[in-house]
Amino acid sequence: MSPTTLRPGARALGALLLSAALVGAPAVAHADDASPSPSATATSSPSATTTPDASASPSPSETAEPSPSATATAEPSPSATTPASPKPSASPTDEAPTGLVPGGDARRYGVAAAQGPATSTNPVLVGANYLEEQLRDGGHHFSVDVAGTLYADYGVTADAVLALAAAGTGQDEATLATQYLADNVKNYASYDDGDPATVDDVYAGSVAKLLNVAVAQGVDPTAFGGWDLVDTLEGLENAQGRFADQSPWGDYSNVFGQSFALIGLHRAGATVSADARAYLLAQQCPGGGFALYMTDAGCTDAANADPDATAMAVQALVAVGGASSAVSDALDYLAGRQNADGAVGGAGPTAAVNANSTGLAGQAFLAGGRSAQARAAVGYLTGLQYGCTFPTALRGGIAYDQAAYDAQRTAGQDATPGDQDRRSTSQALLALAGTPLGSVTARGADAEAPDLACASASPTASPSGSATSTSAPTSTGGSTSDPTGTAGSGGGSTTDPVAAGPTGSLAQTGSEPLVPVLVGLVLLVLGGVAVALSRGRRGAHA
């Protein structure tokens, strides 16, 4: 921040000489000129592993990312094809392309960040704090509990990193989480069966998501954990333009992975082929929505449209450009699925309105310039944010839906964070931050996300559950602009009143109020020395 101080001038010195009682005379004020950082993606799909997901709550597009991080309980029949193996880079490079963090040390996996505010009421910043603390508690990653055994959930960990980058804060933890992903890139993006005579599995969606994480974190994507993510992903594009899984057990790639691939390659400066773009466009169904599951024939039945897949496809097509008509139809489809309160539901088991689908739709509305719908989505999401009446570990998190929020409220002080909250918060935060996937960056982000400020006399949770206190939500980080147009919900640039102290206290620049009094007395006695002292009084912020 750049503090601005209103100081007494020459006329104030004259007043000091005329009066020996100076208490309250100096007009010393401190205005925090917030300098927000520039601002995923989080998918609603939680990197579905080949191990069953024991999460108690559904999350949109749960099959979007096969991941070999856990032992498979069932194996599909091998396919006849055996594509080429992934292309790891020879070694991490010491020099990265312009704008990327060089390799060679721990900073390679994130940006150098400045310290941010200690507390805030901004929904974006306190939501980031929730994710930051959850990552820290989990050893810099998230895990999913399957029958009492914890398995690393690389996909949702990546979602959280993208969310923190979008929020413009939490980079100390985001850097460590990114390093964790890089150290485990093979566990997430492929499966090594130990037989050198067979081709290892490689998953397009996982590679594509990691590519987006690398770009957002300013990391060289050609040397991510020893892998060249760009080259590997380009090698997974088949003759039809589909980014397909390479696995003897089948191809489970879908619109999420295809969309991530287009966005990631475009942002990494690689060429997005016309075939890859056309293949995604072919998945658009009559009525404007996109199907989740891809086929070479494309979508011909409106009933196959999936709101979550549609939101991802919109962001990809906006990023690469040249499909304005398809994007407009898709946004109309999403707008038609949005309730009056801003909520959007998914498809199948997640058809009821929820934070994951609403977060994705909010990102698509932002990317496509549909500000009214984006603002409505933000309103719904902030209504599900855990506030000061909840246990500290939950504050800032966003519930999956109203039922989940109510259940945590009923649990009271026994309420604890869970896998469902981590997923929904990761997805919702990008919409709250006003940052679609195509523009997520950690550049300029703060090191630590602030705690929710609950020190005011009567902190409350709004009837809908948004995190509120007696101070209005404000921003000290996040996007430099607020695409949603909602103050305090999109990382906008406003002063955080929490930093000013309790209501009625004297705002200061670091000097005690007694100092002007002493200066005045000196002026009365010393005369000419007063001018020199008054100049010296201008302070550290001059």
Sequence letter at residue 52: P
pLDDT band at 116 (very low <50, low <70, confident <90, very high): confident
Cβ contacts of 537 within 8 Å, gap of 6 or more: 7, 8, 515, 516, 519
Give percent above pLDDT 90 in the chain: 59
pLDDT band at 456 (very low <50, low <70, confident <90, very high): low
pLDDT of 445 > 70? The answer is yes
Domain over 106-409+417-498 is classified CATH 1.50.10.20: yes
Which 8-state DSSP code applies to residue 219? B
Higher pLDDT, 56 or 272: 272
pLDDT of 351 > 90? The answer is yes
d(C-alpha 496, C-alpha 134), whole Å: 24
Phi then psi dihedrals of residue 520, to 5 deg: -60, -40
**The Cα angle at residue 117 between residues 379 and 389, in degrees rounded to 5:** 50
pLDDT at 469: 39
pLDDT of 218 > 50? The answer is yes
Q: Which residue has the tokens 């721990």?
A: 106
Give percent above pLDDT 70 in the chain: 63
Under a CB-based contact definition with an 8 Å cutoff, are residues 241 and 90 in contact? no
Q: Is the model's pTM score more than 0.85?
A: no
Nearest Cα to 124, choosing from 371, 396, 376, 354? 396
pLDDT at 152: 96
Higher pLDDT, 112 or 128: 128
Domain regions of the chain by residue span: 4-32+508-536, 106-409+417-498
Region 227-251: mean pLDDT is: 95
Q: Which residue has the tokens 């899984």?
A: 245
DSSP string of 463-520? TT--EE-SSPP--SSS-SS-TT--TTTS------GGGG-STTSPP-SS--THHHHHHH
DSSP string of 107-157? GGGS---B---SEE--HHHHHHHHHHHHHHHTTSS-EEEETTEEEE-HHHH
pLDDT of 455 > 80? The answer is no
pLDDT of 30 > 90? The answer is no
Long-range contacts of 97-102 (CB under 8 A, 24+ apart): 97/220, 97/269, 99/218, 100/218, 100/219, 100/220, 100/221, 101/217, 101/218, 101/219, 101/220, 102/220
pLDDT at 101: 63
- Helix or strand run (H / E) with residue 344: strand 344-345
Higher pLDDT, 247 or 263: 263
Region 189-208: mean pLDDT is: 83
- What tokens appear for 338 in the block? 């949005």
Mean predicted lDDT score pLDDT of the chain: 74
- What tokens appear for 288 in the block? 């404007």
pLDDT at 99: 53
